[in-house]
Amino acid sequence: PLPVPADAPPHLLRARPYIPALSLVLLGEGAELTATAALARTMGIATQVFAKEDTGALRLGGVPQGAQADAWTAILLLFHDHEWERTILRWALDTPAFYIGAQGGMRARMARLDDLARDGVNETQLARVTSPIGLIPRTREPGVLALSALAEILGAYEALHPLA
């Protein structure tokens, strides 16, 4: 909370909560990444995009260079090639991000969690990974997936507010 001056009129709040803005780290490829980045930016969400196609931004087995995540950040992986996810998810789980999600169905989820468990990631950390993502099950249209995932992320963000 931000303090109110001691000589402020008594009808004012004694403290005002500061709620940081939502930020988003998007990692992936293809139309889903493009649609989600465009919608997030249209909504005014601070968005860092790391595309598989961008030389230097991502590499297989590496972490996103220069990505920053705090407790008000959502990290969303939008890969079709799930072998790109393992190292990135381990990086994401080491951040305080409030949401970590990865595109894919239940088979992809189980394989992803098995890989992370073999890497020594504990159950508490594994539970932080949301998959499948979004409020609309099994959607394949990039724009609908973007809307669905961002709606889920916004719901989780709103639940963090101290007055929620």
Q: Are strands 46-51 and 73-78 parallel, antiparallel or unpaired?
A: unpaired
Task: Note the pLDDT of residue 7.
Answer: 83
Task: Note the pLDDT of residue 15.
Answer: 60
CB 94 within 8 Å of CB 119: no
Indicate the pTM of the whole model: 0.90
The residue among 85, 79, 125 whose CA lies nearest residue 103 is 79
More confident residue, 13 or 110: 110
Residues above pLDDT 70, as percent of the chain: 93
Q: What is the mean pLDDT of the chain?
A: 92
Residue located via tokens 């916004």: 154
Residue-wise pLDDT tens digits, 83-104: 999 999 999 999 999 999 999 9
- CA distance linking residue 27 with residue 88, whole number of Å: 9
Spatial neighbors of 108 by CB under 8 A, at least 6 apart, are 82, 102, 131
The pLDDT of 5-21, averaged and rounded, is 75
pLDDT band at 143 (very low <50, low <70, confident <90, very high): very high
Give the start-to-end residue ranges of the domains of the chain: 19-157
- CA distance linking residue 116 with residue 137, whole number of Å: 24
Residue 57 has pLDDT above 90, yes or no: no
Taken in order 19, 147, 108, 69, is the CA torsion positive or negative? negative
The pLDDT of 110-124, averaged and rounded, is 96
Amino acid at 113: L
b/e for 40-74, b at 16 or more Cβ within 10 A?
beeeebebbbbbbeeeebbeeeebbeebebeebbb
Place domain 19-157 in its CATH homologous superfamily. Answer: NAD(P)-binding Rossmann-like Domain (3.40.50.720)
The pLDDT of 133-152, averaged and rounded, is 95
